[in-house]
Amino acid sequence: MSSPQKPAAKKPAKRKVNPALMKPVQPDAALSAIVGSKPLPRGALTKNLWDYIKKNGLQDAKKRTQINADAALKVIFNGKKSVSMFEMTKLVSGHVKA
């Protein structure tokens, strides 16, 4: 008697990276002061922005979704003292050229 074979387990589908997120974008002068002036993919731009926020302690201690602006970020945040991390993404989009 042969034992019944188990069907091969399906491998989880690899997540496809959105090619639009990999395309380099050019930060404007205000954003370049924070993330650098070279064109970089949106993912890298966001990472650099978060590195800056963490390095300078700009994430609100009590409400972690709020980002407190310093002088450089205030320009990007349209003069606002504090924005949510979701609003930050929208505001940063206005400072890049595809």
Spatial separation of the C-alpha atoms in residues 55 and 7, rounded to whole Å: 51
Domain contains 65: yes
The residue segments making up the domain with residue 66 are 23-97
Instruction: Give the containing element (helix H, strand E) for 54.
Output: helix 42-55
CATH of the domain at 30: 1.10.245.10
* pLDDT beyond 60 at 2: no
With 0.85 as the threshold, say if the pTM is over it: no
- Which residues contact residue 91 at a Cβ distance below 8 angstroms, ignoring those fewer than 6 apart? 76, 77, 78, 83
Length of the chain counted residue by residue:
98
Residues 33-76 pLDDT 10s: 999 999 999 989 999 999 999 999 999 999 999 999 999 999 99
Residues 14-44 pLDDT 10s: 777 677 778 899 999 999 999 999 999 998 9
